Amino acid sequence: MLLPVALSLAQDRAAVSLSCTIPSGQPVEDIVRPRSAVEDSRIQQNSHDVKRIGRHQLSVTWAGGIRVFKDKPPFDAELDGVWWAYCGYSATLKMHLLMKKDVDLFTGVLLDDVTGALLPGGENVMFSSDGKLYVATEQQDGMDGEIVKLLTRQGTLVWKGYGGVLTKDGGVLAELGNFRWDKNRLIGDDEISKKIFALTQVNVSSWKWVPLSAK
C-alpha 115/C-alpha 29 separation (Å) is 32
pLDDT of residue 12: 44
Neighbours of 115 (CB within 10 A): 13
- Per-residue pLDDT in tens (0 to 9) along the chain, 215 residues: 333 333 333 434 545 899 999 987 554 569 999 999 999 999 999 878 999 999 999 999 999 999 999 999 999 888 899 999 999 999 999 999 999 999 999 999 999 999 999 999 999 999 999 999 999 999 999 888 899 999 999 999 999 999 999 988 888 899 999 999 998 899 999 988 889 999 999 988 789 999 996 55
CA-to-CA dists, residue 142 to 105, 109, 139, angstroms: 10, 22, 9
